[in-house]
Amino acid sequence: MIGPDFGTTAASVNTYYGTTKAKTAAIEYGLDLSPVFVEAVAESFPKVAPQPVPSAKPADGVATGYGQGGVDGESLAAPPPDSKPWIVTPLVESKALSKAVGCRILLKLDLLQPSGSFKLRGISTYILHHLQNHPRPHLSHFYSASGGNAGLACVVAATTLGRPATIVTPKTTSPSMLRRLRDAGAAAIIVHGDTLAMSERYIRDVLMGPGGEGEHDGVFVPPFDDALIWSGNSSIVDEVAEQMPQGSQPDAIVCSVGGGGLLAGLLQGLRRRCSSPPSASSPPWSPRATTVVAAETEGAASLAAALHAGRPVTLAGISSQARSLGCVRVAQKAYDEAVGTVQQGAAATTSPVKSVVLSDAEAARGCVVLADEDRLMVELACGVSVAVCLDDRLPKVLGREVTPDMTVVIVVCGGCDVDVGRLAEWRETCGGLVAAPGPV
């Protein structure tokens, strides 16, 4: 349980962050971790002090972890042109899923990204673009409102490039995620508000507002709704094209949808691949030959709601346990892509997207199957994509028969909101590859 400590812990935090007029309290969550979290109070903000250079001995209670470059404002002028915090991830076949589905199932393993999810691609692209174009990149301080994977991606990307990142999280953020943010090297982790919207507003109005520490050189990093984010995510398609056997094209790509940044990136990459010049290793793909299956969970299906309404709508709330999919409104770009209204030249394209909404229990079973059969541990937001390929569901989603010569790519987007204990619980209630799903 997370609980406040107003004794020496609060004092040590205030020593580091500076004294504020309103109360600040450190938040501890066990495991003998140093106190590096503060609870922000309205009309007050903790002073985000610059971190020491990597060679300096950190003060007690200060989270460090910066790698290349340094964060003292002197040792980094600009990132190298070829800097890339994310990695090329493998594309491997799941023999068990291939046998169960009746076609070749390939897994794009973006859970192996240094931050644990695909989000490192888009967020790294955003941060790199800023550092390469800002007149004072060595003073940049990045801010993210996140209770999970976007915040981790922001910290990993920023620290890899030698800059600090501050994460503001809502009070619902799990203790394990707070630990991961801390261990990744966040300059500060501030707990504020009950929702991500409140956390973001705190960054914009207080931390980066007039008189805030990030007023001049603070950079807000969006989690999904930005052209640079989509561009970075589109690199998945480029890699898949190079990794597909004998330059072939997948019949379908299955991905999870929260705010829609991954979906928008994949569709952008597909269009680019279909119009790319031919090469010996990877010929251009055929338009409309690849279906994109957009998977969501019940209670977090903002894309499905938008498609039903004919426009993006705001959900009343999120009831799904797949918290990484918990965006109450899908990005306009993702919606436009899904309905085929994105302009390419003079004419609108026709979308290859199929929307599917599954239960938390089905998503949990997808996680169990992936752990059992392929030794991969992912959270519910990723397991829902695996569940698309269980229980003869795929032919219904695609609207056609699945044959042995077909190839389906599942984007294993990863996510860090999972542990062995949760997988054990899901196994008890949902079973594995041959068991029928039950309630979570």
Confidence of residue 262 (pLDDT cuts 50, 70, 90): very high
At the topology level of CATH, where does 3-77+141-216 sit?
Answer: Rossmann fold (3.40.50)
Q: State how far the alpha carbon of 134 is from the alpha carbons of 81, 127, 216, 376, in Å.
A: 14, 10, 12, 39
pLDDT tens by residue, 35-61: 344 444 333 433 333 333 232 232 222
**pLDDT above 70 for 353:** yes
* Ranges 22-31, 34-43, 71-80, 369-378: which has the least confidence: 22-31
Tell me, rounded to whole angstroms, the distance of Cα 349 from its chain centroid: 27
Task: Tell me what pLDDT residue 82 has.
Answer: 58
List the single range of 114-118, 159-163, 222-226, 319-323 with lowest mean pLDDT.
319-323
Under 8 Å between Cβ of 94 and 373: yes
Q: Is the pTM of this model over 0.85?
A: no
Domain residue extents for the chain: 3-77+141-216, 91-118+226-429
| Residue 23: both structure tokens together | 């109360």
CATH topology of domain 91-118+226-429: Rossmann fold (3.40.50)
Of the chain, the percentage scoring pLDDT greater than 90 comes to: 49
HEC states along 37-51?
EEECCCCCCCCCCCC
Closest C-alpha to 98, from 436, 379, 407? 407
Mean pLDDT for 111-134 is 93
* pLDDT > 70 fraction of the chain, expressed in percent and rounded: 75
Q: In this structure, are residues 155 and 186 in contact, taking their beta carbons and an 8 Å threshold?
A: yes
Residue 156: is its pLDDT beyond 90?
yes
Q: Quick check: 190 and 46 in contact, CB under 8 A? A: yes
Q: Cβ distance 22 to 45 under 8 Å? A: no
Confidence of residue 25 (pLDDT cuts 50, 70, 90): very low
| 12 pLDDT above the threshold of 60 | no
Average of per-residue pLDDT values in the chain = 78
Residue carrying structure tokens 């109070």: 41
The pLDDT value given to residue 342:
55
Q: Which of 4-13, 33-42, 278-287 has the lowest mean pLDDT?
A: 4-13
User: Cβ atoms within 10 A of the Cβ of 329, count?
Assistant: 17
Q: Looking at residues 25-31, what average pLDDT do you find?
A: 31
Over the stretch 378-397, which tens digit does the pLDDT of each residue have? 999 999 999 999 999 999 99
Residue closest to 63 by CA, chosen among 222, 191, 216, 185: 185
Highest mean pLDDT, choosing among 87-96, 136-145, 194-203: 87-96
pLDDT at 323: 82
Look at 172 and 251; give whichever has higher pLDDT.
251
Instruction: Give the whole-angstrom CA distance, residue 220 versus residue 130.
Output: 11
